Structure 1
Amino acid sequence: MPPETTGSDESGEPTSVPDPDGLDLARRIARQVNAGTPAPQPAPRRRRRRPAEPLSSGARPDDRDPQPIGNVLRRMVEERGWRTDLDVHALMARWPDLIGPSNAAHCRPEAYEDGVLTVRTSSTAWAVQMRGIAPAVITRLNQQLGSEVVRRILVKGPDAPSWSHGRLRVKGRGPRDTYG
């Protein structure tokens, strides 16, 4: 313990004052600083909340279990509304298999919009034939694709060549021939 020094207070009485060095000095300063503030209260203990759902699944199948990739992709396609787009792409890719090789050699799908499939043919004869079998083709396409993707087929014949070349041209009907 540090040596005590003797001094006198304002009234002149002798007092023993501890040496202001060390631990006593620190305690006195701490008391003066904390004199105006209330003692801190301990924080209330919080209860840990248990998760509402367990972190692991039980014995029965659950959404948190690993899923086959086919099921996950199928669910994602349905949620995002990609079913029709995928069916149309499958139709375009499998066209020869769906309508047969001879028809596919002379008819090709050109566009699809709102249930209408536009088909371009190589000649007017093939366009007439395709218009005749269109209902059967629609039924077969929808059976093969597994959904009601195609509601109507719009058949177009071949494009005729343009006879207007250059800056000068004669107005009128121009040459007539059976193109397609």
Structure 2
Amino acid sequence: MPSAPGNAGAAEPTRGIDLARAALTQARAQARTRHDLRQDQDRARRGLKRSGSGPDDRDPQPLRQIMGRLVSERGWQTPAAVHGVLQRWPEIVGAALAANCRPERFEDGELVVRAESDNYATHVRWLAPKLLARLNQELGDGTVTYIRVLGPAQERRRGQWRAQP
């Protein structure tokens, strides 16, 4: 029985073309839903997010921010701070002393300083408490616990007139 002319929107379409058009619309909606779902699953699997109007992690980042995040993730805060201070060695100890002694390494709270002469090695040993306080002021309390001062590195020469042990 044909539908009444006043109920055209409320009743099911009865003609073949109307049935086909409704089926096509429903199939397109289902395909769109499946396609969107599949794309979301692919993005989730690859770790991608949908882009929005605001900034996110995929935007270009300043190098300082990236390096800061890398240093904190790897636990390099103390070594980075120590090496930054050691780059400013002449400012900390003075130009005259920095010209004759240099820091060699920092491990486990111990700073090793190499002097060019025994006189400067003695002078740095004498200044060690003040130097230790200044370094800990720059780096944070307890970062440097001991300063070892080494004299000049000299080769031991063995000649023909050496006494036998």
Backbone CA RMSD of aligned residues: 3.4
Q: Which residue of 2 aligns with 1:141?
A: 135
1:89 deviation in Å?
A: 3.3
Deviation at 1:139, TM superposition (A): 2.7
Distance 1:142 1:57, change over 3 A: farther
Q: State whether structure 2 residue 51 is matched by structure 1 residue 56.
A: yes
Indicate if the aligned counterparts of 1:107 and 1:122 stay in contact, CA closer than 8 A. yes
Q: Deviations over 1:64-92 (max 9, x none)?
A: 45433211210012112333443343344
Among all aligned residue pairs of Structure 1 and Structure 2, give the percentage whose two residues are the same amino acid: 42
- Decide which of 79, 86, 111 is 2:105's aligned counterpart: 111
Corresponding residue SS for 2:163: coil
Which structure has the higher relative contact order (CA within 8 Å, separation 6+)? 2
The Cα offsets for residues 138-161 of structure 1, whole Å up to 9 and x where unpaired, read as 232243356864322101223456
Moved more, 115-124 or 88-97: 88-97
Q: CA deviation at 1:101?
A: 0.6
Change (3 A) 1:147 1:171: same
Structure 1 unpaired stretches of 5+: 1-43, 173-180
Letter of the structure 2 residue corresponding to residue 140 of structure 1: R
- Matched residue SS, 1:55: coil
Q: What SS is found at the alignment partner of 2:156? A: coil
Q: Structure 2: how far apart are the matches of 1:161 and 1:70?
A: 44
Alignment length (residue pairs): 127
Q: Which residue is equivalent to 2:25?
A: none
Q: Which runs of 4+ in 1 moved over 6 A?
A: none
Q: Check the 8 A contact 2:110/2:145 in 1, yes or no.
A: yes
- Structure 2, unpaired ranges of 5+: 1-29
Could you tell me the TM-score, scaled by structure 1's length?
0.53
TM-score scaled to structure 2, two decimals?
Answer: 0.57
Distance 2:118 2:49 in 1: 68
